[in-house]
Structures are given as C-alpha cells and as structure tokens.
C-alpha cells in the first residue's frame, strides 16, 4: 500500500544561475530551492518524507514534448562561454543559460518523472519535487519565462505512455499562465489543463489573447483547457477558494482523473513581486487538500515559480505538510471573493458550461445581483469592492511581508490544539472516548474559591459545586492553552458551571 509522501530535491539544481545583469531574470535565484528545503528541514518535514533521488531525464523523454532542434540548442550551451550564452539567451523571452543549465533542466525533468514513477508504482501516495529551472512556459521549440523544458508536460505524456492513463489533470496555480502547457495539450482531451493567472485584461506578461477564459481548447480538446484570468492584483484566499469551489473542483470531479499533477508556482502567494497577490501560505494547504481527494490521492506537486523567498518557503512547507496528512490550518479573515474575481469566475463558468454538466447543476445565482440584497448583505458586500482593501497589499511599502509571515506562521502553526479530549472522570467516561484522553488534575478547593469569588459573590459553597467548578475550569484552562480541543466534566450543577466558565473565558480575552 502506498503510504508515504515522496520528496525529491537535488542540490545540483542550484547551480543554474544568471551570470550577467538582467532585471527581468534576476528573481529566479538558486536560493529559491535551497531556502525552501531549509525551511522544510526547520519544520521537521524532510525527515517525515520518503526520499527518492533525482535522475536525468533522457533525450527520448524530453522529445515526448520538445523538438529535436530545441534539445540540440539546449545541449550546445554546455560548452559555451558567457558571451555565447548571453547571445543564445537573447533568442528567447525571459530566459538565461548557464553552462550547467542543460544538466539542471535534465535533472528537473528526471526528478519530475521519478515522482510520477514513485506515485504510480505505489512507492509513495503523493509527493513534491523541488526543481529548477521551472517548466510551464516552455514550448515545443522554445525556452520562455525562466523555463527550458516543460517538466510537467513531459511528465503527463510519460504517464500516459508508461501507465496507459486516459485522464490526467494538470492544475497550474502559478500566478503566470502556463501558455507552454496550454499549447502542448490544447487538442488533447486526455489532459485537462487548469490555470489561473494574473492577466489584467492582457496587460500582464505574457500578454496573450489565448490566456483569456474563452480559450477552452481546440478540436477534440474543446472543454479540456480552462483559463481563469485575474484582472486585478490583490487576489487572496477567498478568491482562490472561490475559484476552486466554483470552477476547478466541479469540473475535476466530473473529469475523474487517474493522476493529478500540480504546476506549483508560489508567485501567486503574498509578497511575491511578480504576482502582487495576497493569498497566505495556508491557502496552499487547502488547495493541496482538495486535490488529494482526486485520483485516489495520486498527487504530484512540481515546483514552478515563486520569488519571495520567505513566502515561497512557507507555502512549500504548507503543501508538503498537507501531503503528509497533517490537518489543514484554519483560514481566517474575509471569506467573500472580490467583485473582479466573481466576474472572472462567472465568465469561465459560462465558457465551459457546454462541456461540463456539473457547472450547470450548481446554482451560483447567489454570486449575482449582490447590490440588490439587504443592507446587512450590502455591508458585507462592501468587501466585494472593485479593488481589494489595502489591509496588506497596498501598504506593501510600509508592511514588511517577511515580518508579517513570521508572526502569521507562528500563530497558525504552533497553537493548533491537538485532537484530544480532556476529562476529569477517570472511571466512567474514558472508554467512550475514541482518542487520547488527558486526565485533568482537579484544582484545590481554596484555589477554586479564590478564583470563583472574584466574579461570583453569592456562590453556594458546597463541596460538590466547588469540585464541579474546579473540573470545569481546569478543562477550560487546557482548552484556552490549546492543549486540548474540548473536554468533558461530570457536573452536578451545570448551569452554575457554565456561567462561571463563560466569565472565566471572557477574562482570558476571548472575543467570541
């Protein structure tokens, strides 16, 4: 039985680097890989994964997607000097060659295929490959947007061939449109490609007409290419979740893939200089968790973009942690998607309604005519503004994203209460409880009295009441300290206990 989560990382992929000055390419640095791996170590996630070595992708494997001309050009750069490398690089839109780029790109392909093999053979349930250079902009005959070989596209073709797969889902949550992947599969109904991307009505790179929602695929592939263009920056957790709920997931469950591959760029996360979006790292835990429900859990996550080192690393950790089966962190804050996101979502749903019956079944009228609703709703909908509130993004200049993430990750990762139930009754209840039970030491009688008299003057001072209150407060303390999630106390005077408990929790600063 497949049980583990596979992690693939090879330090050699940090040797591909920019040798000259180029303000367009200088964000694609080796530290993207090394600092993500360091953060995984830091959270003790590396030691929980199954390690599979990378390998070089073979020429034959690369030719599944690319032309032999493209392969030969790439191969020829291995022995070039800096001047020659610069000249070849200039033939492409946003790409740089280093003498070891070809070797790294072959490792990136091979690492991706190793992950597919591990997941398809049952060596692991799911996994992530940390690779450089990325792949989703790369096309049959061209490097593009930091990508030389299309790792994910090659993996999909490889999986179709080697494992005789009929349906593969590629989810591209990178903030850029993976136009390379779209071109490769646009006529192919066996590969469903979903991409959301910063678009701004074609203003944002790569500024293509075919990145819009009306590019649904060609010929037999009609309906199997799904583009969700974001026409505003500042999209956040609620926008991403709405996109999953109302576009990707209905289609994905209807498609019923045999394998899911993620083009996993984290430039769609908060702080990224390219994406300018607002989604926090824990949203990637949720996205991952949803995708784990497809294809019997066979999920391969392949790194693409992500240029804010801290945001990237935290998001990678969230993804791996979720792949390992840890509970997903709660998402807090405004949960309504913004107006621009709703508009994009409605457009892509309309474009795909002819192809997917699950899009017609679902009623989304609640997403329409928002302004005609009650005042209360209107107030809530003021969050559905044309532009996002300035809480985080607009104040980018003054708020340090790094500092924000530091505090943010501390608060979401550390105080997660374990699924434990406290009880004060060691005899009667213990055997009913499905999980670990922590016995709470009852409080000392005078201790309870002092505590309770502070806000409950006319307290009946019988032993039973005090004992009951003590048990209750002891459990409450454990809940507030997040040592347990809930608790059971045997109480002869529930009403009094509840009242005291409530006041006690208010004292601790509970808001609701």
Lookup result for tokens 């009505």 = 201
Q: State which of residues 57, 127, 134, 250 lies at the interface with ligand Q9C (CB under 6 A).
A: 134
CB nearer to ligand Q9C: give 146 or 244.
146
Q: Show Cβ contacts of residue 108 under 8 Å, excluding neighbours closer than 6 positions.
A: 13, 57, 131, 132, 133, 134, 135, 149, 151
Q: State the burial class of residue 217 (Cβ atoms within 10 Å of its Cβ: 0-12, 13-18, 19+).
A: buried
Q: State which of residues 180, 305, 329, 487 lies at the interface with Zn ion (CB under 5 A).
A: 305
Q: How far is the CB of 38 from ligand Q9C (least distance, A)?
A: 21
In this structure, the chain runs to a length of: 512
Q: State which of residues 157, 258, 304, 314 lies at the interface with ligand Q9C (CB under 6 A).
A: 304
Q: Is the peptide bond before 133 cis (omega within 30 degrees of 0)?
A: yes
CB nearer to ligand Q9C: give 61 or 304.
304
Q: How far is the CB of 88 from ligand Q9C (least distance, A)?
A: 18
Return the residue nearest Zn ion (CB atom).
Answer: 305
CB nearer to Zn ion: give 193 or 255.
193
Which residues, in sequence order, are bridge partners of residue 226? 194
What part of residues 35-94 is at the interface with ligand Q9C (CB under 6 A)? 94
Distance, in Å, from the CA atom of 247 to the CA atom of 159, rounded to the nearest integer, reads 25
CB nearer to ligand Q9C: give 89 or 424.
89
What own/partner pairs with CB < 8 Å and gap ≥ 24 does 400-404 have?
Answer: 401/270, 401/271, 401/308, 401/310, 401/311, 402/271, 402/310, 404/270, 404/271
Q: Which of 70, 98, 137, 352 is catalytic?
A: 137
Which residues, in sequence order, are bridge partners of residue 259? 168
Q: How far is the CB of 274 from ligand Q9C (least distance, A)?
A: 6
437 with 422: CB under 8 angstroms?
Answer: yes
Stretch that binds ligand Q9C, among 143-151, 364-372, 429-437, 453-461 (CB under 6 A): 143-151
Residues 156-185: x where in contact with Zn ion by CB under 5 A, - otherwise, as a string: ------------------x-x---------
The two structure tokens encoding residue 409: 């990750």
CB nearer to Zn ion: give 307 or 356.
307
CA atoms in the 13 A half-sphere facing the CB of 33: 26
The three-class DSSP label of residue 147 is strand
The two structure tokens encoding residue 91: 């033939």
CB nearer to ligand Q9C: give 174 or 239.
174
440 with 426: CB under 8 angstroms?
Answer: no
Residues 257-296: x where in contact with ligand Q9C by CB under 6 A, - otherwise, as a string: --------x-x-----------------------------
Binds 94: which of Zn ion, ligand Q9C, none (CB < 5-8 Å by kind): ligand Q9C
Q: State which of residues 234, 305, 337, 470 lies at the interface with ligand Q9C (CB under 6 A).
A: 305
What part of residues 437-466 is at the interface with ligand Q9C (CB under 6 A)? none
Return the residue nearest ligand Q9C (CB atom).
Answer: 305
Nearest to 204 by CA among 182, 175, 227: 175
Stretch that binds ligand Q9C, among 7-15, 119-127, 141-149, 159-167 (CB under 6 A): 141-149
Q: How far is the CB of 367 from ligand Q9C (least distance, A)?
A: 30
Which residues, in sequence order, are bridge partners of residue 277? 270
What part of residues 195-224 is at the interface with ligand Q9C (CB under 6 A)? 205
Residues 236-265: x where in contact with Zn ion by CB under 5 A, - otherwise, as a string: -----------------------------x
- What is the Cα 198 distance to its own chain's centre? 17
Binds 95: which of ligand Q9C, Zn ion, none (CB < 5-8 Å by kind): none
Paired sense of beta strands 259-264 and 421-423, if any: unpaired
Residue 407 neighbours by CB distance under 10 Å: 9
The two structure tokens encoding residue 376: 């209360």
Number of residues that bind ligand Q9C (CB under 6 A): 14
Nearest to 159 by CA among 149, 148, 171, 169: 169
Q: How far is the CB of 95 from ligand Q9C (least distance, A)?
A: 9
Q: Which residues of 457-469 are buried (b: 16+ CB within 10 A; e: fewer)?
A: eebeeeeebbbbb
The two structure tokens encoding residue 191: 């590969």
CB nearer to ligand Q9C: give 92 or 213.
92
The three-class DSSP label of residue 256 is coil
Q: How far is the CB of 312 from ligand Q9C (least distance, A)?
A: 11
Q: State which of residues 24, 29, 50, 336 lies at the interface with ligand Q9C (CB under 6 A).
A: 24
Binds 249: which of ligand Q9C, Zn ion, none (CB < 5-8 Å by kind): none
Q: State which of residues 9, 37, 146, 185 lies at the interface with ligand Q9C (CB under 6 A).
A: 146
- Based on the shown chain and the rule CB under 5 A, indicate whether residue 221 belongs to the binding site for Zn ion: no
The three-class DSSP label of residue 126 is strand
Lookup result for tokens 């490097």 = 143
149 with 107: CB under 8 angstroms?
Answer: no
137 is catalytic: yes
Q: How far is the CB of 61 from ligand Q9C (least distance, A)?
A: 20
Enumerate the H helices of 329-422 as residue ranges: 339-352, 357-361, 375-381, 401-413
Q: Which residues bind Zn ion (CB under 5 A)?
A: 174, 176, 265, 267, 305
Question: Using CB under 6 A as the criterion, which residues of the chain lie in contact with ligand Q9C when the complex forms?
Answer: 24, 94, 134, 137, 145-147, 174, 176, 205, 265, 267, 304-305
Catalytic residue numbers read 137
């Amino acid at each position: 039985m497949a049980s583990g989560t596979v992690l693939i990382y090879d330090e050699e992929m940090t040797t591909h680097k920019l040798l000259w000055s180029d303000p367009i390419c200088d964000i694609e640095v080796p530290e993207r890989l090394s600092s993500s791996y360091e953060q995984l170590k830091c959270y003790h996630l590396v030691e929980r994964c199954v390690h599979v070595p990378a390998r070089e992708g073979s020429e034959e494997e690369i030719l599944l997607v690319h032309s032999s001309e493209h392969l030969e050009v790439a191969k020829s750069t291995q022995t070039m000097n800096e001047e020659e490398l610069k000249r070849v690089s200039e033939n492409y839109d946003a790409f740089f060659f280093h003498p070891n780029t070809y070797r790294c790109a072959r490792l990136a392909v091979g690492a991706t295929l190793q992950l597919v093999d591990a997941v398809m053979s049952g060596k692991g349930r799911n996994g992530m490959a940390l690779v450089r250079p990325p792949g989703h902009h790369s096309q049959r005959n061209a490097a593009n947007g930091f990508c030389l070989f299309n790792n994910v596209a090659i993996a999909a073709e490889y999986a179709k061939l080697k494992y005789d797969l009929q349906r593969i889902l590629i989810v591209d949550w990178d903030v850029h449109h993976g136009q390379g992947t779209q071109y490769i599969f646009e006529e192919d109904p066996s590969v469903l490609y979903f991409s959301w991307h910063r678009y701004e009505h074609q203003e944002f790179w790569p500024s293509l007409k075919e990145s819009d929602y009306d590019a649904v695929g060609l010929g037999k592939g009609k309906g199997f290419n799904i583009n969700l263009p974001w026409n505003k920056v500042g999209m956040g957790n609620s926008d991403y979740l709405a996109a999953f709920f109302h576009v990707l997931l209905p289609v994905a469950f209807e498609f019923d893939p045999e394998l899911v591959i993620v083009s996993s760029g984290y430039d769609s996360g908060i702080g990224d200089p390219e994406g300018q979006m607002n989604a926090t790292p824990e949203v990637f835990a949720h996205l991952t968790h949803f995708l784990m429900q497809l294809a019997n859990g066979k999920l391969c996550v392949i790194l693409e973009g992500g240029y804010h080192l801290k945001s990237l690393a935290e998001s990678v950790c969230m993804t791996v942690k979720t792949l390992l089966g840890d509970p997903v962190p709660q998402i807090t804050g405004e949960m309504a998607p913004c107006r621009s996101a709703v508009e994009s979502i409605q457009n892509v749903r309309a474009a795909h309604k002819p192809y997917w019956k699950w899009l017609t079944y679902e009623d989304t009228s609640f997403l329409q005519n928002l302004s005609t609703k009650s005042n209360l709703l209107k107030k809530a909908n003021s969050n559905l503004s044309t532009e996002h509130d300035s809480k985080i993004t607009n104040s980018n200049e003054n708020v340090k994203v790094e500092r924000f993430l530091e505090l943010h990750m501390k608060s979401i990762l550390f105080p997660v209460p374990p699924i434990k139930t406290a009880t004060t009754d060691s005899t009667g209840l213990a055997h009913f409880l499905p999980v670990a039970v922590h016995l709470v030491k009852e409080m000392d009688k005078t201790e309870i009295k002092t505590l309770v008299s502070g806000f409950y003057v006319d307290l009946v001072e019988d032993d039973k009441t005090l004992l009951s209150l003590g048990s209750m407060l002891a459990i409450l303390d454990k809940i507030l300290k997040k040592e347990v999630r809930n608790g059971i106390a045997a109480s002869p005077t529930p009403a009094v206990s509840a009242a005291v408990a409530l006041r006690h929790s208010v004292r601790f600063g509970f808001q609701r």
